[in-house]
Structure formats: structure tokens, C-alpha cells
Amino acid sequence: MSATLSIVTKQANSPAQKMANKTETILVIGACGQLGSELTLQLRSLYGGSKVVAADIYAPKQTDLLASGPFEKIDVLDPKGMAAIASRYKFTQIYHLAAVLSAAGEKDPSFAWRLNMDGLFHVLDLALEQGIGQVFWPSSIAVFGPDTPRQHTPQHTIMNPSTVYGISKLAGEMWCAYYFRKHGLDIRSLRYPGLIGYKALPGGGTTDYAVDIYRKAVEGKPFECYLHEDTYLPMMYMPDAIKATIDLMQAPAENISVRDAYNVSGMSFSPKEIAASIQKLIPSFKIIYKPDYRQQIADSWPQTISDQVARQDWGWHPTYDLDAMTADILENLQQQALL
């Protein structure tokens, strides 16, 4: 990593994160996924390896996840199994990340609904039953739909999502707000844009192309893109997503005015622009366009997001733009390829 970029990465940790409360015991469900694998490692570096339990339905392939702290097999559709594990550890916080994403959800809508909704209820009820004070649950820009204003989409606006994933996320947001109002459960949420990282692969999202494209570029292969060249979508680089998540969870409760889910913005770009960003560093890189069913999903989502409320309430601001992200990812993938 270059000197400039290592400074940028360090700045991605806010001052609040340095003062992590070491008495927390944290469960991360979905810890082997794209976000979970990086978030778990960051939480362990803040709170201590033994205090952050990684959990997923499958054992991790990532050796650093297994080596840096405990792992438990958890199925969010098995509330009794979850309760047994939770009563052993006496968790104070849960990050519940397990979900079926937008493109995969359209292939099996009833399973997506069951996993996304029942999984959330099981976690919320577990938190109430075992007095687990704080829960993080991710929402998504998929809560917005074709009737939503697509530019600078405000925090509060017309929603009407058109995918089963978006419907489950919007319903989930309403349930989170309900559990807060009715039971005082301190549950917090972000509407993530497409998340881009180089360490783990996403699965089943509409924005996944922006992860896959970098791997093809480093392999020296052309990339076949399933979206049109001018499809703008909101995106965020993983260090920013992790910073947003932990900053939100560490913010004083009195600062949290949104109890459904906060809009957060990183950057917006089209396939043509990410390809051009890669070509600045790998001029021979080629992209071809073959739009499929995911085009319709992308066309129903906002192009840019207004995150004014998150900025005001808990000081959110992103660090990475497209070119800084491209440079960091390509450098890291190229180093990995040499190992």
C-alpha cells in the first residue's frame, strides 16, 4: 500500500472507535460474508479477540477469522440453537448481517422473505429475552423503488420497493422502529449502498459487478458486465462501510434521531466510469456490456443518496472516492496474486 493510502486507511477509524468499551461481548451473525468477515476483524481489534464471537451457518474459510477469536455455527432460522449459544456468552451487542440479497432474492422470493424476516424476528426476540442491549441490522438502498426521487434521495421520501429483498428490508426497518418504541431495544441500522471490498466476495447482489470487475482486471481478462454502461448506483468502499457501522453503534443514544435506518452515501458511479478508473492504472483493461434481469433492479434504485441526517446526528463522512478505492483495491489484489 502506498504511503498516502495507508494514511487514508488509518483515518477511516474515527476517534470514537479508539475508546471502545472493553466490557462489551459481541455476536456477529453472518461473520463469514463480505461485510461480516471484515467487520468482525475490526471489532476484534477494538474490543479484543475473545470478546467478539464470529457466527455463521458455515465454518469460515478465512483463516484469520478462525485464528483471531471464537467461532460458533448459527442458523438464524433456529431460534433455540441461537438462544443456547447466546446464554453461554452473555452478549451485550449483536450485529445481525445474515440476509439474502436482491438478485438472489428474485430467484427464490419465499426463502428470501423467510430468511430475512424470520431471521430478524429471532434476533430481536433473543435480544429482548436475554437483555442484550444493542443490535445492529443492515438495511439497504433497495428499500427505495421506481417512484422514489433518484437524485439525492432524501432520508424520508416515497419508498415502494420492487424487489422481495427491498420489501423485506423496508418491513425490517419498520419492525426495528417498532421494537425501539414498544420495548426500548436500542437497534440501529444503515441503508447500505453497494459495498465494495477485495477481501471477500459478495453473493447475490445487484451491485456485485463492482467487486468482480477488479478481479478480472487483475487477472488480465475482459469483464462482461450485466448492467448498461451508464447505470449509476450508490456505492461505498468497505473501510468506509465499517467506519459507518461502528461509528453509528458507538454514537450516544440521544444523538440517534432515526430509528428505522439512516441513509449513508459514499460515491456514485456507472460501469463505464469504474472501467475508466481501472484503465488509468491498467490501460489494456476491457469491459463489454450484456445487461440481464439485474438491470431492472438497478433501474429501480436511486443514483445518488442524501445522507445529511447521518452527518448531522453522528458525524458521518466518507473517506474514499472512486479513484482512491480503485488504487487501493488493485494494489492489494496485485499483491495477493503474487503470494
Q: Which residues are catalytic?
A: 165
Radius of gyration, alpha carbons of the chain: 19
Judged by CB under 6 A, the stretch of 42-50, 139-147, 236-244, 315-323 that binds ligand AKB is 139-147
Q: Between 162 and 207, whose beta carbon lies closer to ligand AKB?
A: 207
The nearest distance, CB 101 to ligand AKB, in angstroms, is 4
Task: Name the DSSP class of 113.
Answer: H
Annotate 139-177 with b (16+ C-beta within 10 A) or e (fewer): bbbbbbbeebeeeebebeeeeebbbbbbbbbbbbbebbb
- Residue 102, interface with ligand AKB (CB under 6 A)? yes
Q: Between 194 and 239, whose beta carbon lies closer to ligand AKB?
A: 194
Q: Between 119 and 205, whose beta carbon lies closer to ligand AKB?
A: 205
C-beta nearest to ligand AKB: residue: 205
- Residue 140, interface with ligand AKB (CB under 6 A)? yes
Q: Which of residues 208-237 bind ligand AKB (CB under 6 A)?
A: none
- Residue 55, interface with ligand AKB (CB under 6 A)? no
3-class SS of residue 139: strand
Judged by CB under 6 A, the stretch of 11-19, 134-142, 152-160, 308-316 that binds ligand AKB is 134-142
Alpha-carbon distance 79 to 265, whole Å?
34
Q: Count interface residues toward ligand AKB (CB under 6 A).
A: 11
Q: And the C-alpha cell for 210?
A: 463492482
Q: Between 69 and 205, whose beta carbon lies closer to ligand AKB?
A: 205
3-state secondary structure 275-288: HHHHHCCCCCCCEE
The nearest distance, CB 312 to ligand AKB, in angstroms, is 24
Sheet of strand 233-237, all strands in order from the earlier edge strand to the far edge: 194-196, 233-237, 267-269
Contact 273, 227 (CB under 8 A): no
Q: Kindly give, in sequence order, each residue whose CB lies less than 8 Å from that of residue 249, ignoring residues fewer than 6 positions away.
A: 93, 95, 134, 136, 188
Q: Candidates 27, 29, 86, 142: give the one binding ligand AKB (CB under 6 A).
A: 142
- Residue 238, interface with ligand AKB (CB under 6 A)? no
β-pair type (190-192, 262-263): parallel
Determine the longest span between alpha carbons in the chain, in angstroms: 57
Q: Is 299 exposed, middle or buried (0-12, 13-18, 19+ CB in 10 A)?
A: middle
- Residue 263, interface with ligand AKB (CB under 6 A)? no
Binding mask 14-43 for ligand AKB (x = CB under 6 A): ------------------------------
Q: Candidates 94, 101, 132, 213: give the one binding ligand AKB (CB under 6 A).
A: 101
β-pair type (186-188, 134-136): parallel
Q: Between 208 and 247, whose beta carbon lies closer to ligand AKB?
A: 208
Q: Between 47 and 192, whose beta carbon lies closer to ligand AKB?
A: 192
Contact 337, 291 (CB under 8 A): no
3-class SS of residue 158: coil
Q: Candidates 41, 52, 94, 141: give the one binding ligand AKB (CB under 6 A).
A: 141
Q: Between 51 and 96, whose beta carbon lies closer to ligand AKB?
A: 96
The nearest distance, CB 226 to ligand AKB, in angstroms, is 12
Q: Which of residues 167-206 bind ligand AKB (CB under 6 A)?
A: 192, 194, 205-206
Alpha-carbon distance 185 to 280, whole Å?
48
- Residue 207, interface with ligand AKB (CB under 6 A)? yes
- Residue 71, interface with ligand AKB (CB under 6 A)? no
Binding residues vs ligand AKB (CB under 6 A)? 101-102, 140-142, 165, 192, 194, 205-207
